[in-house]
Structure 1
């Protein structure tokens, strides 16, 4: 979000919300259910982590973590939001919203199940969908409003079950998102390559253009996985393909040198040898010169 856009919405805090849950008996676990309208808040979880079931998603919302820019919050009705321990961020949204929040003491979780604690990521996750996890959160709220008839231990068991479900789900989602992100990055790289075939392209320039965060070797592996060839080979083949089309369409007023320059070749000898190697004919023969 552009900084000029921020502030064009009503500024309200938690005092405008309605709390529908009861105080929780367990020190390790807290359940809340809030509903409210347009809001702008600062959130800090301290020693707790939070699993939220979004019952009604706002019309629009954004969040900003410390030192970062504003970004859209992918909150959907029926979705799960996970916020890690010590999460600190600013949020704003417009429209009515409602959510059940399960906050678990991170130290208690580590003492009870260190393996589960290690599976949880250290960054927020928005828009996770899983009916079983959503049902567990609903069960926790039901226990809360009924005054914990089965005791605090049962609520803690439900919370552990939710966290056990959450870890593998987020690991799977991370792999799925990684694959989608890979396709997106390679598509951006291909768009940039074909738009700049007449320039002296470098792999580093392409990496910067598609905002790939890894090193040159990691990008090359990613590119080869989707395109079947390394970036430099793909660029050469794309230039030769364009050169062939230009030569076939050209009249005698266009020279081989002009075609070579239009396709990013700065050395005519290299262009001619690469062209013949790929197409089995000298470029000059296509022009008939």
Structure 2
């Protein structure tokens, strides 16, 4: 699922109780992994970015002569081209995340509106990633909606990439957080794209790249000229499309089918946004259409 590595159990007489549950989403591979005993794991040179987060027990990661300890909820990044070793406690279970190098670097390049060839994540325990992964893990434990709806899957994949870049410490973090001012032209072009092609897997990053500005500049421009963020604007456009389809839905279509086809992964949150915008629940709109 990930890469070649060697494990050395601390007690060769104890049973190895390895458990692995993994899922892939585009450029991202995530897994729950436990070995059931204390052991050392050593990797060769990594080709992609890896992020390991204990959800039980603790781990110690070593980078050359430097070691860092990670407790439950703390993620440690591992960088391409750099070998590392990890010591797992007996009760350690981890969420292991592998992100393909090129897509992640392309996402950051789009955020900064310039090319980035390598991201120097700080190889120290950090928090906040579990919250980013929660929607991904929830969907793959559910009825498999993402596998049936490519737009929702692609949107979630890009949100995860953006979440890592905006949450973890790296050598471009300060630049990412810098706000820039732009004229109304790029915002106007971005609005036209969202209105004309709302079915594309837009994120703020891809939209900023399409109009040749940085992510922070586009966000500031939307707040100034449109009064909302790019994400909120796109959500409102898609809510309108859902409303149109519910109003004219053919027999057999459900609220879930229509919502997920428009990229709404969190159905509870979708229902709340829909009610706030249209003054009724999605099922009420659909029911009124069927009664007619």
TM-score by length of 2: 0.44
TM-score by length of 1: 0.44
Higher Rg = 1
